[in-house]
Amino acid sequence: MNKKILTLSAAILVVACSSGKKPDYVVTDFSVKNKPIWIESISKFEKKKDNENDEYKYFKSESESIDKRLCEKSAIANTNIEVAAEINTEVYNMYNGLSEVQREEILVSNDKKEETKNLVRSKLSGVELRDSYWEKRKYKAELGAANDKDVYYCYQLARVKRDTHDKIINEMINKKIKDIKDENLKESVKKVVETNADNADIDIDIK
């Protein structure tokens, strides 16, 4: 255990130096010695994956609790919620480039924000759990924490078929565009969406 603490403390020190921010805790235990790269950056993880990654989109969920078992279960339970939230964010990012007036007109006139979340949940399937990691953190007031406490922090890596991911976004985008009455606005939205989808490597088929 002492060796673990020393190893993780050294790792935390490196991160703190590189980020300029000192952590207010020390890690006293962990599931694996080397913290998985996907915890820090999903994009870096995907770039290091082999060709199998081309078929999948990866997501990360997390949780914390004083109880390790509950922490791990919560991280798993949060997976679908996190995937749905991420996809919903990606959809709204497709409209980046429109003016504020145009964005508001689309989002307010359609009033679909809650509906799009429900659509994601209804269409989301085939979420696979791929990896997990937990660590026990000892927060210390002397390091800047609000109070001394021991907490488990858990992470879960999941993936969804890229076809499924893109299909959901397609449905949500096309549903919104279909409701736009102004033809000029509709054409502007289509162009912006196509550009953003291409930049994000998302297969969009606007009808």
Percent of the chain with pLDDT over 70: 83
Q: Are 87 and 120 in contact (CB under 8 A)?
A: yes
Answer whether residue 112 shows pLDDT above 70. Answer: no
* Side-chain-side CA neighbours of residue 63 (13 Å): 20
Distance CA 173, CA 92 (A): 9
Q: What single-letter DSSP state applies at residue 111?
A: T
Give start and end residues of each alpha helix (H) in the chain.
2-19, 37-40, 42-48, 68-93, 100-110, 113-123, 162-178, 183-199
Length of the chain: 207
Question: Which pLDDT tens digit goes with each residue over 4-29?
Answer: 444 444 444 444 444 457 899 999 99
Closest alpha carbon to 75 in 63, 58, 64: 63
* Percent of the chain at pLDDT exceeding 90: 55
pLDDT tens for 67-106 read 999 999 999 999 988 998 899 889 889 999 998 888 888 7
Q: 60 with 38: CB under 8 angstroms?
A: yes
Q: Which pLDDT does position 14 carry in this prediction?
A: 42
Instruction: Report the relative pairing of strands 149-161 and 56-65 from DSSP bridges.
Output: antiparallel
Q: Residues 28, 134: contact at Cβ < 8 Å?
A: no
3-state secondary structure of 84: helix
Residue type, 30: F
- Quick check: pTM over 0.85? no
The CA distance from 138 to 26, in Å, is 5
Higher pLDDT residue, 178 or 136? 136
Question: Is the CB of residue 64 less than 8 Å from the CB of residue 153?
Answer: yes
